A and B are shown apart, each in its own frame.
Chain A
Amino acid sequence: MEVISEIRKGSEKMSEENGVIYRISGPVVTAVGITPRMYEVVRVGHEGLMGEVIELHGNQSVIQVYEETSGIKPGEPVVRTGQTLSVQLGPGLLTQIYDGIQRPLEDLEKTMGVFITRGVDADGLDLKKKWEFNATASVGDEVSAGAVIGTVQETETIEHRVMMPPGKGGTIKSIKSGEFDVTQTVCTLDDGTDIAMMQEWPVRTPRPFVRKYAPDVPLITGQRILDFLFPLAKGGTAGIPGPFGSGKTVTQQQLAKWSDAQIVVYIGCGERGNEMTEVLTEFPHLIDPHTGKPLMNRTTMIANTSNMPVAAREASVYTGVTIAEYFRDMGYDVALMADSTSRWAEAMREISSRLEEMPGEEGYPAYLSSRLAEFYERAGRVQTLAGDDGSVSVIGAVSPPGGDISEPVSQGTLRIVKVFWGLDAGLARQRHFPAINWLSSYSLYPQALDQWYRDNIASDYPEIRTEISALLQVEAELQEIVQLVGSDALPIDQQLTLEVARMIREFFLQQNAFHDVDTYSNLKLQYTMARAILSFQDEAKKAIAGGAELESVVNVPARTDIMRGRFESDYEERIAALVSDMGKQIAATMEGN
C-alpha cells in the first residue's frame, strides 16, 4: 500500500490547513480553508471520499466527488493530497475491470459485497503480486524517458514492456532480472534514482511521444461494411452515432473482439451494468483469431455504469485513454472504445450546471467541443519515446437524443473524427444489421490505405470497392423511381441492378454479430464475396442479353448457395467453386430459351 501511504504522507504535509465543507449539492462539494491546486485530489468528509478540485473561486474550492455524497454535512473535514488524479501503470492492467477512477471492481466486491458503497480505497495495480522481470537493458546503458529497460510476460499473449517513466533518464548503475512486485526497485541510475515497474501518470495530461505519423495501415475489424466501405486506420478516430437500440454497443463489442489491435481498452461510460457483465463473461471464452488465445488476455475494461457516480463517469474516459497511451508507448497498436461519449458529455453538463456555469447549447458547458477534441486528439499513430511505432485508435459511440444528430455532442464529434459510421433506426427496425447507413456514412482514410490493400489483398481492391459503392448509389436513385411506379415498370437492366444491389445489402453488408461464422470475415474473404457479386452481375447481363429471363437468372440455385453459404464454416474453401457453378447455371438459363 505504498502509494496510498504516500498520499497520506502528502496529506500530513498539508494538514496544517484546516479544510472544511461549506456546501454540498449532489456530487459537487464546496470547501473553505484549503488552498489546493486545480485538479488536485482531496479527501472529503469523515469517510475520506475521493474528490477532485475542479474550480477555485475566491476562498472556496469546488470539488467533484467520486462517490455518493448523501449523509455528508457541512463542517466535515476536507484534506488535500497534493496529487492530481492519476492512474497506476504497470503489469496487472490487463484482464482487469475498473471503475472510472481505476479501482478494481473485483477488489470492491471483496470489501463491499455486491453493492457498491463508499469510502474504500483500492490500488489500480496489485502491489503485492510478484512478476518475473526480465531486464533487457544493462549496466552502463544510457536510458532516457520511455526507453524499455525490461519485460514481463503479463498475460499469455502480451509482453509488458517496462519503460523509464517520462521525465526520468540517466546511466544505469544496476539492474537485475528476477521476481519483483511493481513497487520494488528493479533498476537504479547513476544519480541514485530508483526505478520500479509501476509508474503513475495524471489522467488529464496526454503522455508524451516523439511525433505523430499519418495513419496508413487499416485497423482490420472483420466487419464487412466497416472494413470494405468505411475503413478505420490504426491510430484513427471514428464516431458511431445512433438512436437507442441501433447497434452502437454491438458494433463496439465486435471491434473489441475482432479488430487486429494488440491491446483493447473498453470503456463502458454511463451505460448498462449487464453489458459489462456480458463482456466479462464472454471474453475469457472467446478466442482471438490472431493469437489463438482468449481475448481477455489483451483487454482492460473500465466500467462506470449509468447508476454509478457521475463524477467518476466524467473521469472514466481519461482513465481509459491514459491506459491506452501507456500501452501505445510500449509500441503496441491499441484500440479504445468509449460507449458512450454522450454520457460522458452529460456528466460534464451535470457538474457544470451544479457549478452554475453559463450554459452553452442545450445546457452543455461552453467547453464541450474543446473537451471532445482534446479527447480524440489523444488518438494517433506515433513514434514513441523509445523510437518504436505505436498507435491508439479511438472509437466513440454517440447517443443523440431522439436519434437526431444535429445536437451538440454529435456535431462536436463529427467535426473531429475521420470516420463516421451512422446508425439508422429504420435499418435496425428491419433487422438489417449492422444498421450502418451506407449512404450517409463515410471514411476519410481509403486514400491513405489503398496502397496497403493493393499490396496485401488484391491489386484491384480499391476498384472493386468503388464499383460496389457506386451500385449502392445507383440503387438509391432507382428506389426513388420504384416508390412511384413499382419495380416491374423499370427496364430489365435496371431491374437487374436492383437485384445486384439487394445482393450487396443482404449478402454482403448484413452481418450477424451473433452467428459463429458470420461474425468475422477476413479481408480476403470480403474481397472474394464482393467479386462474387460483381461476377453475378456480369454473368446475368450476358444471359439477359442472350434472351434469358431475369427471374430465372436470379433464382439459379448456386446463387442462393453463395448467399446462404456464408454461414457455413467451410465457406472460404467453397466459394470459388460456387461462383463458377453460378456462372454455368446462369449461362444455362439462356439455352432454355
Chain B
Amino acid sequence: MSGKEYRTITDVKGPLVFLNKTEPVAYGEIVQLRLTDGSMKNGQVLDTSDDQVIVQVFEGTSSVDRQTGVKFLGDVFRLPVSKDLIGRILDGAGLPRDGGPAIVPDEMADIIGAAINPYSRESPESFIQTGISAIDACTSLVRGQKLPIFSAAGLPHNDIALQIARQAKLVGSDDDFVVVFCAMGITAEEYNFFVHDLERTGALENAVLFVNLADDPAVERLITPRLALTAAEYLAFEHDYHVLVIYTDMTNYCESLRQIGAAREEVPGRRGYPGYMYTDLAMLYERAGLVKGKKGSITQFPILTMPGDDITHPIPDLSGYITEGQIVISRELHQKGIYPPINVLPSLSRLMNAGIGPGKTREDHKSVSDQLYAAYAQGRELRGLVAIVGEDALNERDLQLLKFSDIFENEFLRQSRDEDRSISEGTLDLAWDLLTNIDTKYLVRLDQKWIDKYHPTEKKE
C-alpha cells in the first residue's frame, strides 16, 4: 500500500473521522493518525468509497484536527501471537503493559477471526467440576461452553469467576487450563483484585491478560476482546491448550458499541443500542468450542453487569440469546449473606445434558437436579403466599417445600470462597441428604430406581 499520508479530514464526529478523496482504501483497513503535536492514534476503516472514507479512532478523537495526517496501512488489524504470550500482561490494544519485551510473533493473526464451520465443530461434553455446588449440580459447565455470569453492580461476580478459574478441573484428568483474562473498562481496583488473586495462586504464570481500564480509551474496548479471543484461539488450536477466557465487563463493551452507532447516526435498535449488536456479540461468543482434529478448547466466561438489575435489558438479553446458558447472581441472596449468591432458577446450562450422567458425573445427576429445581421453585413461590395467608393455610406438602427452600439456600448454595466440593460426595450426596426433608411421595421428579439406590433413609441395599 502506498505509504501516502492524507490531510483531507473534513469532519470529526465523536470517535469518527471523515476523509475526502483518497486512493482506494480497503474496508476494515488499519489506519494511523499523526496529530500536529507528533502523537499517534490508531483507527480502522468503517466505510469506504471513491469519495469518502470513515475511520473509527480507537483512542478517541480529542486533539484531532484538519491538519492531522492519516495513513492507511494496507492491512487489517493483527495480533502478534506466540506461545510466549503466556504469562504476559498486555494493554487493550495488545502492547506490553508489564514492561516486558514486545511479543516476537510466530504468526500475525487477524483479530476478527473467521467463523468455525459448524460441520467442523465437535460437541462439547466433558464435565468441568467447578467445586461450586450450585453450578455443578444445577448448571453444569462443560469444556468448550460459553457460559456468562449475569450480575449487577456491587455483587461478588469477580469472586465467583476467580473461584471457578482456581477450582475448575476435569474429573479424572490433570490437564490444566490456561486463563485468558480480558478487562474492558473495569476500575483499577477491580483489576488489582484479579491480578492479586491470580498472583497469589500462581495462576498468573499460566495466564494472558489484556487490559483496558476505565480510564483507557473507550473505543479501544471494541478490539480488546477480539485480541483476547485471537490469543485464545491460537493457544487452543495451534498449541492444544484448554483455554478459559474470562472477560469483564461486557456491559462496557456494549456501551462503546452504542457510542460508535450514535456517532454514525445509525437508526438505533432497542434502548439506543445498534441493531446489529446481536451479530456483533455473536462474533465474540461464538469463538468458543471444540474443533475436529484439534486437542485444545475454548471455554468462555463473560461477565456482564445488568443495568438496573434488569435481565430483559438488551445487553443480558442479547447475550442470553447467544450463549449456552447463564449463571445469574441474585441481589436478594447476597443481601441474605449467602455466598455464592447464585439464583439457580433463572440460571441454565444448555450443554448440561451432554456433560452429565453415568461415566461423566453420576447416573442420578439429572434426576436430582430436576428435583432440586422443582422443589426450590415451588418453595420460593410459597414464600409469597405465606406472607399473605400465614403458614397455617398450607398443607403438609407445601409446608415441607417451604422449609426446603430455606435449607437449600443455607446448606446447598452456601459455601466458602475456597471450598471445593467434589461432584459425587460433595454435591450430589449433599443434595440427597437435604431432600430427606421432603416425603418421597412428593418427590415426583426422582426416578424410583434412584430413590431405591441413593435415598439416605429409603434406599434398598
Return B105 CB to nearest CB of chain A, in Å: 19
B141 at the interface (CB under 8 A from A): no
* Residue from A116, A268, A303, A404 having most chain B Cβ neighbours under 10 A: A116
* Residue contact A245 to B348, C-beta cutoff 8 Å: yes
User: Which residues of chain A are within 8 angstroms of B237 by Cβ–Cβ distance?
Assistant: 114
User: Which residues of chain B are within 8 angstroms of A489 by Cβ–Cβ distance?
Assistant: 389, 393
User: Which residues of chain A are within 8 angstroms of B289 by Cβ–Cβ distance?
Assistant: 273-274
Return A125 CB to nearest CB of chain B, in Å: 17
B167 at the interface (CB under 8 A from A): no
* Residue contact A72 to B27, C-beta cutoff 8 Å: yes
A81 at the interface (CB under 8 A from B): no
Other than the given A25-B46, A506-B444, 8 more pairs (CB < 8 A) read A76-B24, A115-B116, A273-B289, A350-B275, A399-B321, A429-B377, A430-B378, A564-B444
User: Which residues of chain A are within 8 angstroms of B395 by Cβ–Cβ distance?
Assistant: 487-488
CA distance A404 to B310 in the complex (A): 14
B385 at the interface (CB under 8 A from A): yes
User: Which residues of chain B are within 8 angstroms of A428 by Cβ–Cβ distance?
Assistant: 348
B317 at the interface (CB under 8 A from A): yes
- Which residues 478-497 of A have a CB within 8 angstroms of B? 482-489
* Residue contact B370 to A431, C-beta cutoff 8 Å: yes
Return A200 CB to nearest CB of chain B, in Å: 24
Considering the complex, give the chain A residue whose CB is closest to the CB of B46.
Answer: A25
A177 at the interface (CB under 8 A from B): no
* Residue from A23, A277, A403 having most chain B Cβ neighbours under 10 A: A277
B153 at the interface (CB under 8 A from A): no
For chain A, the bracket of interface size reads 35 or more
* Residue from A363, A401, A488 having most chain B Cβ neighbours under 10 A: A401
Interface segment, one of A1-9, A102-110, A163-171 = A102-110
* Residue contact B317 to A307, C-beta cutoff 8 Å: no
Return B231 CB to nearest CB of chain A, in Å: 16
* Residue contact A404 to B49, C-beta cutoff 8 Å: no
Chain B interfacial positions (CB closer than 8 Å to A): 24-29, 46-50, 76, 112-124, 144, 237, 266-270, 275-276, 278-279, 282-283, 286-287, 289, 291-294, 312-314, 317-318, 320-322, 324-326, 345-346, 348, 350-351, 353-354, 366, 370, 373-374, 377-378, 385, 388-389, 392-396, 398, 441, 444, 447-448
CA distance A140 to B46 in the complex (A): 62
A97 at the interface (CB under 8 A from B): yes
A112 at the interface (CB under 8 A from B): yes
A284 at the interface (CB under 8 A from B): no
Instruction: Give chain B's interface secondary structure class.
Output: mixed
Q: A280-B119, A401-B317 are in contact. Are A343 and B278 (CB under 8 A)?
A: yes
* Residue contact A25 to B47, C-beta cutoff 8 Å: yes
* Residue contact A306 to B76, C-beta cutoff 8 Å: no
A569 at the interface (CB under 8 A from B): no
Considering the complex, give the chain A residue whose CB is closest to the CB of B349.
Answer: A245
Checking A303, A310, A555, A567 against B279 with a beta-carbon cut-off of 8 angstroms, the contacting residue is A310
A254 at the interface (CB under 8 A from B): no
* Residue contact B377 to A278, C-beta cutoff 8 Å: no
CA distance A430 to B371 in the complex (A): 10
* Residue contact A105 to B275, C-beta cutoff 8 Å: no
Return B272 CB to nearest CB of chain A, in Å: 11
**A183-227 vs B, Cβ < 8 Å mask (1 yes, 0 no):** 000000000000000000000000000000000000000000000
* Residue contact B49 to A30, C-beta cutoff 8 Å: yes
* Residue contact A514 to B117, C-beta cutoff 8 Å: no
Q: Which 4 pairs show the lowest CB-CB distances between chains A and B?
A: A486-B393, A70-B28, A402-B312, A23-B49
CA distance A346 to B115 in the complex (A): 19
* Residue contact B293 to A114, C-beta cutoff 8 Å: yes
Checking A73, A112, A346 against B48 with a beta-carbon cut-off of 8 angstroms, the contacting residue is A73
User: Which residues of chain A are within 8 angstroms of B118 by Cβ–Cβ distance?
Assistant: 97, 105, 268, 273, 276-277, 280, 303, 305
* Residue contact B116 to A273, C-beta cutoff 8 Å: yes
CA distance A431 to B344 in the complex (A): 11
* Residue contact B444 to A114, C-beta cutoff 8 Å: no
User: Which residues of chain A are within 8 angstroms of B114 by Cβ–Cβ distance?
Assistant: 68, 115-117
Considering the complex, give the chain A residue whose CB is closest to the CB of B293.
Answer: A114
Considering the complex, give the chain B residue whose CB is closest to the CB of A112.
Answer: B117
* Residue contact A363 to B388, C-beta cutoff 8 Å: no
Return B104 CB to nearest CB of chain A, in Å: 24
* Residue contact A429 to B279, C-beta cutoff 8 Å: no
* Residue from B117, B120, B324, B389 having most chain A Cβ neighbours under 10 A: B117
Considering the complex, give the chain A residue whose CB is closest to the CB of B393.
Answer: A486
Return B342 CB to nearest CB of chain A, in Å: 14
Q: A274-B351, A488-B393 are in contact. Are A305 and B270 (CB under 8 A)?
A: no
- Which residues 358-405 of A have a CB within 8 angstroms of B? 359, 362-363, 399, 401-404
Considering the complex, give the chain B residue whose CB is closest to the CB of A506.
Answer: B444
CA distance A349 to B276 in the complex (A): 8
* Residue contact A346 to B50, C-beta cutoff 8 Å: no
Return A104 CB to nearest CB of chain B, in Å: 8
CA distance A243 to B326 in the complex (A): 13
Checking A363, A425, A431 against B268 with a beta-carbon cut-off of 8 angstroms, the contacting residue is A363
A22 at the interface (CB under 8 A from B): yes
Q: A71-B26, A272-B324 are in contact. Are A308 and B124 (CB under 8 A)?
A: no
Checking A72, A363, A484 against B275 with a beta-carbon cut-off of 8 angstroms, the contacting residue is A363
User: 8 A-B contacts, Cβ less than 8 Å apart?
Assistant: A23-B50, A24-B49, A68-B112, A74-B24, A274-B124, A346-B278, A402-B314, A564-B448
User: Which residues of chain A are within 8 angstroms of B144 by Cβ–Cβ distance?
Assistant: 274
Q: A23-B50, A305-B115 are in contact. Are A484 and B388 (CB under 8 A)?
A: yes
Return B213 CB to nearest CB of chain A, in Å: 28
A466 at the interface (CB under 8 A from B): no
* Residue contact A353 to B267, C-beta cutoff 8 Å: yes
Q: A24-B27, A245-B320, A429-B377 are in contact. Are A277 and B122 (CB under 8 A)?
A: yes
User: Which residues of chain A are within 8 angstroms of B269 by Cβ–Cβ distance?
Assistant: 349, 362-363
User: Which residues of chain A are within 8 angstroms of B448 by Cβ–Cβ distance?
Assistant: 564
User: Which residues of chain A are within 8 angstroms of B374 by Cβ–Cβ distance?
Assistant: 430-431
Return A71 CB to nearest CB of chain B, in Å: 5
Considering the complex, give the chain A residue whose CB is closest to the CB of B384.
Answer: A483
Q: A71-B26, A272-B324, A306-B279 are in contact. Are A431 and B373 (CB under 8 A)?
A: yes
CA distance A452 to B67 in the complex (A): 79
A546 at the interface (CB under 8 A from B): no
* Residue contact B286 to A245, C-beta cutoff 8 Å: no
Checking A106, A306, A310, A401 against B314 with a beta-carbon cut-off of 8 angstroms, the contacting residue is A401
User: Which residues of chain A are within 8 angstroms of B348 by Cβ–Cβ distance?
Assistant: 245, 428
- Which residues 275-292 of A have a CB within 8 angstroms of B? 276-278, 280-281
* Residue contact B276 to A560, C-beta cutoff 8 Å: no
